[in-house]
Amino acid sequence: MNDMNNKATRMGLVERYLEAETSPEEERLLAGFYNSCKADGLSEEEKAVRLLILGTHGEDAAATLEPSADKEQEYDRLMKTRAVLSVRWKTAITTAAIGLAAAVALALFLPVQPRPESSRPQFSATVPEKTYQPAVSVQTQPTITEVAEGKATTIRMEKREKACPKRESAEQSDKNTLITDIGRLYLWAGELFPDCEKIEMERKGDAMLLTTTRADGSQRFYIMTEDATGKPGIQITALAETDRQSTY
């Protein structure tokens, strides 16, 4: 402490203090000196040094406090609560993500398959029976003599407007493509050959090959084409007849 009364020694130590080169013991020595001396006898420079040392030196009261058990319990409780909430959120988000992924996977791997031609429902199933009216003008079933082999018979469509009014516009715009309307052809064929057990049609270029099978297994073959006169209608020409069923 006696050395500290020497201003030159003291100021040298202060300079080292400001340079942060002093040891804790030297700083305690400075603090002890400035704590015991009066500020009145010091220069302005030293008064500021005194304030600095006394203001920043000394045991930190807060640092010596023992940790509190209550705070430790509060910490554990807070972390536990937050952890539970966090787990719930994570579970909800994970579940939503899994559900979304499953939906996407189903959409990707199970696309709607187009139905093959053979699995199409029968015409009778797609056209309600009540609304169905024959679109052909023939009143009686044609016989094989009427539709003789190589002789064309024309089926006119006088009743079509009344039969299917909802399809009128389609028919008007499709007059020349009646042969492509498989459903309508089946309808006509069903009216034309009501005693046939089976009617088959097969497209052959612009024409349609019609095969009828009766209960006794005999088959008859016809060719169906658009009416050559340009009027809306189908021309049916008998081709051949077999006495037993065979694949054509």
Partner 1 sequence: MNQDEFEHFVASVRPRLHALCLRFLARTNGQADAEDLVQETLLRMWTLMKAKLVDNPEAMAIRMAKNLCIDHYRLSSRRHTPVQGVPEEQTTGSNPEQELMARELKERIDAALEELTEAQRRMVRMKGAGMDNGEIAVVCNTSRDCVKSTLCAARRKMMNRLKGGKT
Say how far apart CA 163 and CA 131 lie, in whole Å.
Answer: 8
Q: Does 61 contact partner 1 by CB under 8 A? A: yes
Q: Does 74 contact partner 1 by CB under 8 A? A: yes
Say how far apart CA 42 and CA 37 lie, in whole Å.
Answer: 9
Say how far apart CA 172 and CA 164 lie, in whole Å.
Answer: 12
Contacts (CB under 8 A) with partner 1, residues 78-97: 78-79, 82-83, 86
> Residue 226 forms beta bridges with which residues?
234
Minimum distance, C-beta of residue 97 to partner 1, in the bound complex (Å): 22
Q: Does 40 contact partner 1 by CB under 8 A? A: no
Q: Does 107 contact partner 1 by CB under 8 A? A: no
Q: Alpha helix (H) ranges present in the chain?
A: 7-18, 24-36, 44-56, 69-109, 123-126, 160-163, 168-172, 182-192
Q: What type of residue sits at position 2? A: N
Q: Does 57 contact partner 1 by CB under 8 A? A: yes
Q: Of 58 and 165, which CB lies nearer to partner 1 in the complex structure?
A: 58
The one among 4, 11, 29, 54 contacting partner 1 by CB under 8 A: 54
Q: Of 60 and 129, which CB lies nearer to partner 1 in the complex structure?
A: 60
Q: Of 82 and 159, which CB lies nearer to partner 1 in the complex structure?
A: 82
What are the DSSP calls for 45-109, one per residue? HHHHHHHHHHHH-S--TGGGSPPPHHHHHHHHHHHHHHHHHHHHHHHHHHHHHHHHHHHHHHHHH
Tokens, residue 45? 């420079």
The one among 1, 8, 20, 108 contacting partner 1 by CB under 8 A: 20
Q: Does 187 contact partner 1 by CB under 8 A? A: no
**Binding positions for partner 1, rule: CB under 8 A:** 17-21, 23-24, 27-28, 44-45, 47-49, 51-52, 54-65, 67-69, 71-72, 74-76, 78-79, 82-83, 86
